[in-house]
Amino acid sequence: MFVYDTGDFSQPPHPFGLKDAVVEQILWPNSERLIAVFRQNLKQKFSKDIHDWSRAISMKWDGSDPVVLLHDEWALKANLSTTIVDMPTEEPNHVYMAMWETNAELNGDAPLAHDAYYLNLMRVNVNNGLAEMVLHGTENETQILMDGHGHPIGRIDEDSNLHDHLFFGTREVAEFDARGGTSLSFEGVTADKTPALVVRSSDTKGMTGLYTWQSPGGVGASLFANSQYDVDFTRVDHSGRVIGVTYADDRDHTHYFDPAMENIQQQLERALPGQTVSIRSQDATGATFAVEADGPKDPPALYLYRPAAHQLVQVLFAYPNLTSADLGEMKPYPYTARDGLNIHAYLTLPPGKEAKNLPTVILPHGGPEDRDRLRFDWLAQFLASRGYVVLQPNFRGSSGYGWDFIKAGDGEWAGKVQYDVQDGVKKLIADGIADPKKICIMGGSYGGYMALAGATFSPDLYACAISFAGLADLAKQFYSGSSFESESMSVWERRMGASRSDTKKMDALSPAEHTELVKAPILLLHSDKDVTVPIEQSKAEANALKRAGKDVLFVTMEGDDHHLSYAETRIRMLQETEKFLAAHIGK
């Protein structure tokens, strides 16, 4: 992490870091100190398994005088406490944090699976890291609702039937079913003098927008909604209050509720046409804004914008050695699936090559509730720079197109979701863009599953497949032998169309159970400290492919996580990918 003096970027930055940890979040409670949240995957003291490890550290802006927030709390030993839920401007020396504690604290034991957990609200001094309890949570509490001024206004409890209960004070005002996930979520409060609770909710057509919450009565007035696309995420101010929204058609668009902020956004978009423009932060007076922008052929850059002086200055550039000539054209490539469903997709063409009969990489996204869009994509551009056409389809199950589109992918991982991708491949061939004998499918996480499933269930379509951290054996991933139910597990059961006890259905969807069908060579890449999709998934796939006598190469990325957080391993992943593609579909 580096801290620059925005008044003079010619001065060297102040570095600060923790060995082998990455910065997940940076906040400024006041003008003298910042808070950095560091994350790393490590073996926990009470377990042989690898777990997420994180700490919130407050320091002066030059990196001096660091203190760990909540360092005086027992729960920090169990690594359960880094979530900052409120940072009111009225209290520049304090933040409010949600802290999980277990009843094991009473006797000093390690937390066990059957221990009760309580979500407490803590007021933490950013100068010394010491905490004081504001509210002791209930056993079922999952979320604390704050007003942006240091005052708790409500909470959400979840019962054993996975029903969520909304409380304002001590009064329950709503109950809703959270099994399988829900399009209803509580995003915070508005920045008005009388703050309103903001919820994300679907309309009658299944499109997700932002609304105020009326009590009693539920969802109230619309703050923002689009008839074709979901709200992507909310924009918040320094204190975490909701001030705007972002959604995407082909590109990301940001809208602010305050006319002055909306005017700033519009000025920036006019100054950087064709790019996705995001205001990352601003000073207390609104005189200077930190702005990030990127486009399909414009790598991410950081700017300082001073509206009064009409001055927009680029201060940092993500890929300083890349030029526009190095990058491929990225454009929408819509098509219709075999059952009539409209699929949004994006095509990146290799620079300097005619889009005719070219080797091609199909690059399905992860999630599955995620989506691709028109903006700079480092992996797609890397592949294009090596001479490959890249197709990124937003298959059914992707987010952004409504709740019904998401649910259309449920239970169809090896069926209609695969057909959506296959139909995109067939269009590329029919349009004369792709060489039908030189098509590879590649993806990470759920995209890695899509790559393995494609090579398994569409064995004649692909010349090779590459999976990074992909799911391969669903029963091994999701069945633990426990009867404990959670909202997260219910979401995955909905997505798979199978309960975790239905191992027969999960096996039917699992590439590792059907490796005899595979014809193409497969490259497996996996980080050994991945806690999202453990490396055992790729090991199971590799072992099954070897038993079936198939062509497989398994590469372990040592020391990294699910997100390829470190440059060295990301570079190695690209090097292994480049060699594999060159051997099987390249020249």
Q: Where are the domains of the chain?
A: 326-473+510-584
Q: What is the mean pLDDT of the chain?
A: 90
| pLDDT at residue 385 tops 70 | yes
Q: How confident is the model at residue 106 (pLDDT cuts 50, 70, 90)?
A: very low
Q: Which residue has the higher pLDDT, 378 or 194?
A: 378
Strand 242-248 relative to strand 231-236, pairing: antiparallel
Query: Which CATH superfamily includes the segment(s) 326-473+510-584?
Result: Alpha/Beta hydrolase fold, catalytic domain (3.40.50.1820)
Average pLDDT on 64-76 reads 89
Q: Which range has the worst mean pLDDT, 48-57, 237-246, 497-506?
A: 48-57
Of 143-152, 179-188, 422-431, least confident by mean pLDDT is 179-188
pTM value is: 0.92
Which range among 19-28, 188-197, 272-281 has the greatest average pLDDT?
272-281
Per-residue model confidence (pLDDT) at position 80: 65
pLDDT > 70: percent of the chain: 95
Q: Which of 164-168, 261-265, 441-445 has the lowest mean pLDDT?
A: 164-168
Q: Is the pLDDT of residue 105 over 60?
A: no
126-138: average pLDDT: 92
Tally of CA atoms within 13 A in the half-sphere of 7 that contains its CB: 1
Is 575's pLDDT higher than 60? Answer: yes
Q: DSSP character for 194?
A: S
pLDDT (0 to 100) of residue 179: 83
- pLDDT tens per residue, range 331-370: 999 999 999 999 999 999 999 999 999 999 999 999 999 9
Asked if the model's pLDDT at residue 110 lies above 70, the reply is no
pLDDT digits (tens, 9 = 90+) for 455-469: 999 999 999 999 999
Q: Range with the lowest mean pLDDT among 177-191, 225-239, 318-332, 385-399?
A: 177-191
Nearest to 69 by CA among 85, 52, 90, 46: 85
Judged against a pLDDT cut of 60, whether residue 113 lies above it is answered with no
Q: Is the pLDDT score of 109 beyond 60?
A: no
Residue 299, pLDDT above cutoff 90? yes
How confident is the model over 8-15, as a mean pLDDT?
80
Q: How confident is the model at residue 11 (pLDDT cuts 50, 70, 90)?
A: confident
Q: What pLDDT was estimated at residue 115?
A: 60
**Does residue 218 register a pLDDT over 90?**
no
Is residue 359 within 8 Å of 389, Cβ to Cβ? yes
- Per-residue pLDDT of 512-530, as tens digits, reads 999 999 999 999 999 998 8
Supply the pLDDT for residue 275: 94
pLDDT exceeds 90 at position 220: no
Range 492-500 contact pairs with CB under 8 angstroms and sequence separation of 24 or more: 493/180, 494/179, 494/180, 494/181, 494/407, 494/410, 495/368, 495/397, 495/409, 495/410, 495/411, 495/413, 496/410, 496/411, 496/413, 497/410, 497/411, 497/412, 497/413, 498/411, 498/474, 500/475
